[in-house]
Amino acid sequence: MARRRREEEHENHERWLVSYADFITLLFAFFVVMYAISSINEGKYRVLSDSLVNAFRNDPAADIATIKYDHADNSPKKPIATLRVTPAPASPALEEEAKRMRGMAGNLRATLGPMIEDGKVRVTQSKRGIAVEISDSVLFQTAKAELQPNSINALSAVAKLIRDTDNLVQVEGHTDNQPIASPQFPSNWELSAARAASVVRLFAGEGVAPQRMVAIGYGEYRPVEPNDSPDQRTRNRRVTLNILADNRDDVAVLPAEGGAGAQ
């Protein structure tokens, strides 16, 4: 009897689909679990966010309700606590310094009142101190660094207001972007520095301690306007007196016995 011929088995080229489907199913389950355990508790997030916002606003009476949540469905329940955010009180020394600086700024505005009204002088106050910005047309002739006679009285009055204080003073010279090339001033650097030094010398002559002062020439490189028109360039030509509040690191102070002279 003839032996029955064994049928050949054909290789299944699509078996990988089974493993691939299992892999996709497991991956989907993994992401479902990860999403479930990482869901944000919106109520608690809102409470934390409100607390931080009120803290940075320094709201003196900010009451934030703390919410109790059911762990099963995260549903909000009744408030169980209150978080009060109170800003730290300022020290008496800082309050006294701020009051003194406000008084000095008021005296400067009163002294320079006519020039402020004409738009030639600006007096502003910040945490850093008091800035007195003076147009160069009040102080100097074009391309010159010698103080004009009619500006000396105003600067002398400013010097008298600050000479009995211990505030450090930065005198900054600024120009526009128009080039200058004279035998005395090869560039705007020299012109701005010489103008700042002229003001420092006058202050020293009026009794302001030289070791409290510094003269800085910025030239054309710190404009307050774009230099696109004559009015803007006029605004950029200025001398700024910075009367610093309590920031002695901004100006190097020489010891009293170490020598005089503006730095």
Summarize pLDDT for 168-205 with one digit per residue, the tens: 999 999 999 999 988 899 999 999 999 999 999 999 99
Distance of CA 84 to the CA centre of its chain: 29
Q: What is the pLDDT of residue 261?
A: 35
Summarize pLDDT for 71-109 with one digit per residue, the tens: 555 555 555 445 455 556 667 888 888 889 999 999 999
Distance of CA 96 to the CA centre of its chain: 23
Instruction: Give yes or no for a contact between 121 and 132, defined as CB atoms under 8 angstroms apart.
Output: yes
Q: What is the pLDDT of residue 138?
A: 93
Summarize pLDDT for 139-173 with one digit per residue, the tens: 999 999 999 998 999 999 999 999 999 999 999 99
Instruction: Give yes or no for a contact between 143 and 192, defined as CB atoms under 8 angstroms apart.
Output: no
Domain residues of the chain, as ranges? 17-85, 92-252
Burial (Cβ within 10 Å: 0-12, 13-18, ≥19) of residue 90: exposed
The whole-number average pLDDT for the span 223-245 is 95
Q: Strand 129-135's sheet: what is its strand order?
A: 121-125, 129-135, 238-244, 169-174, 213-219
Q: Which CATH number fits domain 92-252: 3.30.1300.10, 3.30.565.10, 3.40.190.10, 3.30.1330.60?
A: 3.30.1330.60
Helix axes 149-162, 92-111, angle to 10 degrees: 160
Distance CA 37, CA 29 (A): 13
Instruction: Write the CB contacts of 217 (distance below 8 Å, at least 6 apart in sequence).
Output: 172, 173, 189, 190, 191, 192, 193, 194, 195, 196
E strand or H helix at 69, and its extent? strand 62-69
**Mean pLDDT for all residues in the chain:** 79
* Stronger pLDDT, 92 or 206, i.e. the higher one: 206
Q: What is the pLDDT of residue 254?
A: 39
Cα-Cα end-to-end distance for the chain = 122
Radius of gyration of the chain (CA): 36
